[in-house]
C-alpha cells in the first residue's frame, strides 16, 4: 500500500482497501462474482477511494487558501476567503452603513486598500481616499483613467453615449459645448428664472399647504421633485410637473427612477447573470427594459415637438430657448450632419441623471444637520436677515421677499454650511475609474491594466489626516477665512469631482441650493420628526433611506426681529 501512498492514509481508506483485499483472498460467492463480472464492486471501491482523496485534496487546498488569506489580511486589511473573497467581512462589518465601513477600513489601511469580491463577480477593485492618488487619477494622468468599458457596458442601455458615460472624443465634444452653454449669460438667466418660478410658485405653496394642515412631510421627496423639474427644464426645456399640488406621480419621473435603480443593481450582479436576465426579459432586467421605454417615449415626443417648432419659419422659439436640447439641435456632428435623435436623447438623459438628485439629497442632509446644530441655523438666518435689512426699498423686506442673484452670491456663510454638509454627506459617496495601462499611484500602489479604481469620497470627509481631529463635526467655520468663503482643493473635497471632469453644474448647484435653502429657512423652522430613522441608502447617490420626515413651523415676525436686534448688538 505504501507503494501507492507516501503519506499516512485516512482510516476510511484503510477500511476500503482491506475490504478489497478480503474479497480477493476469499472464495467467490455467486453475487460477488456477478458484481465482479459487471465490474460494479471494483468501480465502487475505486470511486470511494477517489472521493476520499478528493476530500483530502480539497481540505489541503482550503487550509492553504485560509493561510494565504490570513497573510493577505496583513496587507489588505480584510480576510480574503476562497470563493467568497472579502464579502463576509463586508457583510459582517457593514451593519447597515457600507460607507462607514469603507471609512473604517480605509483609515486602518492608510488611505488605500484592495477589495476582493466573490469569484466570478465584478467586485474586485482598488479603493482609495488618498488625495495624492485622487489628484493623479483625476488630473495628472487623467487619460490613463477613463470611465472604461465595464462602466460603459453596464450603463449603456440607459445612458447611451451621453457625457456621463463617454470617454475621449465623444466626451470632449459634449463637454465643450455644454460648458460654453453653462457659462453663457443667456443660460444663467434661464436657470435663474426657472428656479425662481419653481421655488416661489410651487415649492413654497406645497410647504405652506403642509403647515396649514399641520401634517409632517417627506422633505427629501419634495426636494427631489423640485430638482427633477428644474433639471428637465434645463435639459429638455420642458417642465414635467412633479412639484404640483398633491405631488402627483409623473410617468416620466417614475420611469427614470426605476431605470436608474435597475441599472445600479447591475453593478452588484455578475455580468453573465444580468445579461442572461436581459436576454429573457426577466426580473429587474425586464423592469429596466420597460422603464427605458418610458424614458425614450418621453424623450422622442419632446424631440419631435421641438423639431416641429423649430421648423416653423415664423417661430422665434430658436432665439428664445436656451435649453440643452435646442442648443444641440442647432449643432452639427463631424460629418456636418445634424445630431441623430438617439444622440440628442442621450445628451438630455445624461444631464437629467447628473442634476436630478445630487442637489436635493445634499439639501436633505443639510436640513438634518441644521436640526442638530441650531446655532448654525441661527447664523444662516442672521445672514439672510442682514441681506433683507440692507435693502433700500421697504416694500422688498416683507415675507414674500425674493432673493436676487447678486444677494444669493453674497451668502458666504450659507455656502460654507452647504459645503460642510457635502463634505460629511457627499451626494456621490463613491466614484470610479478604470486603469487603461499598468500604472503606479503616488502612494506606491501598483494598479494593473483593467483594474477598477473606486475613490471613496464619503470616507475622505472623515479622515483626520485631511480635516483634523474634529473631522466628524459639522463646522461651517472651517470654510471661512475672515468671514469669506474659501474653497478647498478638489482632491481633498471631491464632492464635485476634480480635474477635466469636474462637475459641470457645480456653480448652478450652489446657486440652486442656496436659493431654495434661504427661501425655506426664512419662512419656516424645519423640525425633524422625533425618532425618524436617518440612514444613507446603498445607491450611487446618497439618498436618505427612509426620506426626511419633518414638521414645518412658520417663523413668526418676533423671531426674525430677535435675530435682527441680536445682530445690532
Stretch that binds ligand HEM, among 212-220, 290-298, 494-502, 523-531 (CB under 6 A): 494-502
Quick one: which segment of 72-80, 321-329, 401-409, 420-428 binds ligand HEM (CB under 6 A)? 420-428
Q: Is residue 355 within 8 Å of residue 535, measured between CB atoms? A: no
- 52 and 13 Cβ atoms separated by less than 8 Å: yes
| Burial (Cβ within 10 Å: 0-12, 13-18, ≥19) of residue 168 | exposed
Question: Which residue lies nearer to ligand HEM by CB, 223 or 428?
Answer: 428
- 421 lines the binding site for ligand HEM (CB under 6 A): no
Task: Quote the least distance from Cβ 200 to ligand HEM, whole Å.
Answer: 19
Q: How far apart are CA 49 and CA 52, in angstroms?
A: 5
Tell me the closest approach of the beta carbon of residue 288 to ligand HEM, in angstroms. 20
| Smallest distance, ligand HEM to C-beta of residue 560, A | 28
Cα(305)–Cα(363) distance, rounded to whole angstroms?
Answer: 34
Unique residue bearing C-alpha cell 447628473: 354
Q: Applying CB under 6 A, does 428 fall inside the site for ligand HEM? A: yes
User: Residues 406, 432: contact at Cβ < 8 Å?
Assistant: no
242 is in an annotated binding site: no
Site for ligand HEM in 353-412 (CB under 6 A): 354-355, 358-359, 362
Q: Is 526 in the site for ligand HEM (CB under 6 A)?
A: no
Among 242, 387, 509, 560, binds ligand HEM (CB under 6 A): 509
What is the smallest separation between the CB atom of 531 and ligand HEM, expressed in angstroms? 28
Q: Which residue, 155 or 303, is less far from ligand HEM as judged by CB? A: 155
401 vs 493, beta carbon nearer ligand HEM: 493
- Choose, by CB under 6 A, the member of 223, 504, 526, 563 that binds ligand HEM: 504
CA neighbours closer than 13 Å in the CB half-sphere of residue 561: 3
Beta carbon nearer to ligand HEM, 236 or 401 = 236
Q: How far is 73 from 86, CA to CA, in rounded Å? A: 10
Count of residues near ligand HEM by CB under 6 A: 24
**458 lies in the site for ligand HEM, by CB under 6 A:** no
Q: Segment near ligand HEM (CB under 6 A), from 33-41, 388-396, 421-429, 560-568?
A: 421-429
Least spacing, CB of residue 488 vs ligand HEM, in Å:
14
Site string for ligand HEM, 323-362 (x = CB under 6 A): ----------------------------x--xx--xx--x
- Cα gap 516→227, rounded to integer Å: 10
Q: Which of 218, 420, 431, 434 binds ligand HEM (CB under 6 A)?
A: 431
> What single DSSP character describes residue 532?
-
Euclidean distance between CA atoms 10 and 7, whole angstroms: 9
> Between 233 and 387, whose beta carbon lies closer to ligand HEM?
233
| 496 part of the interface to ligand HEM, by CB under 6 A | yes
Cα 277 from Cα 184, distance rounded (Å): 45
Q: State the Cα–Cα distance between residues 421 and 461, nearest whole angstrom.
A: 10
Q: Of 78, 86, 134, 163, which one interacts with ligand HEM (CB under 6 A)? A: 163
Please report, for residues 121, 176, 235, the alpha-carbon distance to residue 182 in angstroms, rounded to integers and kept in the order given: 39, 10, 11
Residue 393 CA to its chain's centroid (Å):
44
| Residues with Cβ within 8 Å of residue 197, at least 6 apart in sequence | none
Q: Which is nearer to ligand HEM, 401 or 479 (CB)?
A: 479
Q: What sign does the dihedral 185-316-404-199 (CA atoms) show?
A: negative
**454-471 exposure pattern, b = at least 16 Cβ within 10 A, e = fewer:** bbbbbbbbbbeebbeeeb
Q: Could you tell me which residues are annotated as the binding site for heme?
A: 503
- Residues forming contacts to ligand HEM in the complex (CB under 6 A) are 163-164, 175, 231, 234, 351, 354-355, 358-359, 362, 422, 427-428, 431, 495-497, 501, 503-505, 508-509
Amino acid at each position: 500500500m505504501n507503494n501507492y501512498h507516501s503519506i499516512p492514509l485516512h482510516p476510511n481508506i484503510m477500511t476500503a482497501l482491506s475490504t478489497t483485499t478480503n474479497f480477493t483472498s476469499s472464495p467467490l460467492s455467486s453475487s460477488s462474482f456477478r458484481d465482479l463480472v459487471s465490474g460494479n464492486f471494483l468501480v465502487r471501491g475505486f470511486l470511494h477511494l477517489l472521493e476520499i482523496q478528493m476530500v483530502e485534496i480539497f481540505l489541503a487546498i482550503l487550509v492553504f487558501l485560509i493561510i494565504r488569506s490570513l497573510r493577505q489580511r496583513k496587507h489588505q486589511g480584510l480576510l480574503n476567503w476562497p470563493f467568497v473573497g472579502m464579502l463576509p467581512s463586508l457583510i459582517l462589518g457593514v451593519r447597515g452603513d457600507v460607507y462607514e465601513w469603507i471609512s473604517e477600513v480605509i483609515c486602518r489601511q492608510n488611505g488605500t486598500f484592495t477589495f476582493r469580491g466573490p469569484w466570478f463577480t465584478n467586485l474586485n477593485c482598488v479603493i482609495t481616499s488618498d488625495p495624492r492618488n485622487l489628484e493623479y487619477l483625476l488630473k495628472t494622468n487623467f487619460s490613463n483613467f477613463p470611465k472604461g468599458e465595464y462602466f460603459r457596458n453596464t450603463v449603456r442601455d440607459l445612458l447611451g453615449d451621453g457625457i456621463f458615460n463617454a470617454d475621449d472624443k465623444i466626451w470632449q465634444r459634449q463637454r465643450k459645448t455644454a460648458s460654453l452653454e453653462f457659462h453663457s449669460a443667456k443660460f444663467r438667466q434661464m436657470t435663474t428664472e426657472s428656479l425662481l418660478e419653481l421655488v416661489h410658485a410651487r415649492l413654497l405653496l406645497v410647504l405652506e399647504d403642509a403647515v396649514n394642515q399641520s401634517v409632517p412631510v417627506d422633505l427629501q421627496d419634495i426636494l427631489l421633485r423640485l430638482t427633477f423639474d428644474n433639471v428637465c427644464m434645463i435639459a429638455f426645456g420642458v417642465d414635467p410637473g412633479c412639484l404640483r399640488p398633491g405631488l402627483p406621480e409623473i410617468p416620466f419621473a417614475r420611469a427614470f427612477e426605476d431605470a436608474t435603480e435597475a441599472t445600479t443593481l447591475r453593478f452588484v450582479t455578475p455580468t453573465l447573470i444580468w445579461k442572461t436576465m436581459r436576454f429573457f426579459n426577466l426580473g429587474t432586467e425586464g423592469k429596466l427594459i420597460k422603464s427605458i421605454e418610458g424614458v425614450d417615449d418621453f424623450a422622442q415626443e419632446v424631440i419631435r415637438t421641438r423639431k416641429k417648432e423649430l421648423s416653423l419659419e415664423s417661430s422665434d422659439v430658436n432665439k428664445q430657448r436656451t435649453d440643452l436640447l435646442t442648443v444641440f439641435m442647432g449643432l452639427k456632428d463631424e460629418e456636418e450632419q445634424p445630431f441623430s435623435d438617439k444622440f440628442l436623447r442621450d445628451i438630455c438623459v445624461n444631464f437629467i441623471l447628473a442634476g436630478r438628485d445630487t442637489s436635493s439629497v445634499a439639501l436633505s442632509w443639510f436640513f438634518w444637520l441644521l436640526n442638530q446644530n441650531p446655532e448654525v441655523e441661527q447664523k444662516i438666518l442672521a445672514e439672510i436677515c442682514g441681506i433683507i435689512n440692507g435693502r433700500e426699498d421697504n416694500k422688498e423686506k416683507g415675507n414674500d421677499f425674493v432673493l436676487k442673484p447678486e444677494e444669493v452670491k453674497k451668502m458666504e456663510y450659507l455656502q460654507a454650511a452647504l459645503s460642510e454638509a457635502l463634505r460629511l454627506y457627499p451626494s456621490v459617496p463613491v466614484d470610479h475609474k478604470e486603469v487603461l495601462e499598468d500604472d503606479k499611484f503616488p502612494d506606491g500602489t501598483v494598479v494593473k491594466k483593467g483594474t477598477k479604481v473606486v475613490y471613496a469620497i464619503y470616507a475622505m470627509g472623515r479622515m483626520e489626516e485631511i480635516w483634523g481631529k474634529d473631522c466628524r463635526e459639522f463646522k461651517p467655520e472651517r470654510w471661512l477665512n475672515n468671514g469669506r468663503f474659501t474653497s478647498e482643493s478638489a482632491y481633498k473635497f471631491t464632492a464635485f469631482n476634480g480635474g477635466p471632469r469636474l462637475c459641470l453644474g457645480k456653480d448652478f448647484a450652489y446657486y440652486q441650493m442656496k436659493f431654495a435653502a434661504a427661501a425655506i429657512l426664512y419662512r419656516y423652522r424645519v423640525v425633524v420628526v422625533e425618532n425618524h430613522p436617518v440612514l444613507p441608502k446603498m445607491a450611487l447617490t446618497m439618498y436618505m433611506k427612509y426620506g426626511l420626515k419633518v414638521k414645518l413651523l412658520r417663523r413668526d415676525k418676533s423671531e426674525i426681529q430677535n435675530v435682527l436686534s441680536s445682530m445690532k448688538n
